[in-house]
Amino acid sequence: MKKVVILTGAGMSAESGISTFRDSGGLWEEYRVEDVATIEGYQRNPELVLNFYNERRRQLPLVRPCHGHELVAELEKDFDVTVITQNVDNLHERAGSTKVIHLHGELDKATSTWSPNDPKQIVTLPPDHPDIHIGDTAADGSQLRPFIVWFGEPVPEIERAAMISSKADIFVVIGTSLNVYPAAGLIQYVPENAPIYLIDPKDVPWTSGHRFHHIKKGASEGMEELTQLLQKERL
Ligand code: APR
């Protein structure tokens, strides 16, 4: 089976009702990134950051995968699909995708402030107890924090994501402004002869020399068109 690698961003979940970051009305219009999405912001005011993610986490059970998530999962019938997502929601998994790499962490998980990437410290927060409060501790006794990769922190999954991107037969980019590195840099690893499809209703800054086919539609309609286009590729 051909390997299809799909890099997704906030636009993938927009049709599920989860706001993007940099569109008008996006999250970064309401909150300052430096206050809620940086390690310095967390050290300066942990309660503000815990509440920001508590609010977003409480939204998770209220939203569901959009048709685009479902079509991404259905591609697994004909292709060896790996989703590399910048999103921290669990909508790809809930739609049925079986191989999902979260570059920026997972909203429904929590970890240790001292060793955030130690697997022994990572716990899943149950939907009926989604909040993290000051005083909640991880296994190592430190303050429990969201299992989110903040600006200024390493992206542990990037090496694995780059290796997988370098083996793609087909690469797809859905709903990301390609503003944030190292995620946006994954395109550099895609083999020269692998077609790249971009699904986004807007133009996005494309710095790679790699040619791409822009499906200028939303995630769901765009995935409908891509599914048709890939029919001939599936052999
Ligand atoms: N379908 C597809 N794409 C859409 C849709 C839609 N319905 N609506 C908006 N988009 C596109 C926008 O045109 C934009 O290109 O989704 C993209 C959203 O870009 P951002 O808001 O910048 O989100 P993203 O690229 O995922 O941000 C990357 O930045 O703040 C950090 O960690 C955060 O993971 C996030 C990272």
Q: What is the pLDDT of residue 227?
A: 97
Give the ligand 1 atom nearest the CA of 219: 1
Which residues belong to the active site?
A: 104
CATH 3.30.1600.10 in the chain, residue ranges: 19-62+111-148
CATH for 1-18+66-104+154-235 (3.40.50.1220, 2.60.40.10, 3.30.110.40, 3.40.50.2000) = 3.40.50.1220
Instruction: Quote the pLDDT of residue 140.
Output: 98
| Ligand 1 atom nearest residue 199's Cα | 2
Distance from the CA of 143 to the center of ligand 1, in angstroms? 30
Q: Which of 21, 215, 226 gets mutated to test ligand 1 (max ligand atoms within 8 A of its CB)?
A: 21
Q: How many CA atoms lie within 13 A of 99 on its CB side?
A: 15
Task: Select from 4, 7, 5, 2 the least CA-distant residue to 180.
Answer: 7
The pairing of beta strand 80-85 with beta strand 105-112: unpaired
In this prediction, residue 28 carries a pLDDT of: 84
Q: What is the pLDDT of residue 235?
A: 59
Beta-bridged to residue 102, according to DSSP, are 85
In the chain, where does the domain assigned CATH 3.40.50.1220 lie? 1-18+66-104+154-235
Give the pLDDT of the chain (235 residues) as one tens digit per residue.
Answer: 999 999 999 999 999 999 888 888 888 888 899 999 999 999 999 999 999 999 999 999 999 999 999 999 999 999 999 999 999 999 999 999 999 999 999 999 999 999 999 999 999 999 889 999 999 999 999 999 999 999 999 999 999 999 999 999 999 999 999 999 999 999 999 999 999 999 999 999 898 889 999 999 999 999 999 999 999 877 5
**For the purposes of burial, counting CB atoms within 10 Å of the CB of 173, is it exposed (0-12), middle (13-18) or buried (19 or more)?**
buried
How many Å lie between the centroid of ligand 1 and the Cα of residue 141? 36
The confidence score (pLDDT) of residue 207 equals 84
Cα separation of 171 and 7, whole Å?
A: 8
Query: Which residue's CA is the closest to the ligand 1 atom numbered 1?
Result: 218
Residues with CB under 6 Å of ligand 1 are 9-11, 14-15, 20-23, 26, 37, 86, 104, 175-177, 179-180, 199-202, 204, 218-219
User: In ligand 1, which atom is closest to the CA atom of 26?
Assistant: 21
User: In the structure encoding, which two tokens stand for residue 160, read together?
Assistant: 């694995």
Q: How far is the CA of 129 from the centre of ligand 1 (A)?
A: 28
pLDDT at 232: 81
Q: Note the CATH architecture for domain 19-62+111-148.
A: 2-Layer Sandwich (3.30)
Q: Which of 13, 16, 20 to mutate to test the pocket of ligand 1 (most atoms within 8 A of CB)?
A: 20
Beta bridge partners of 8: 85, 174
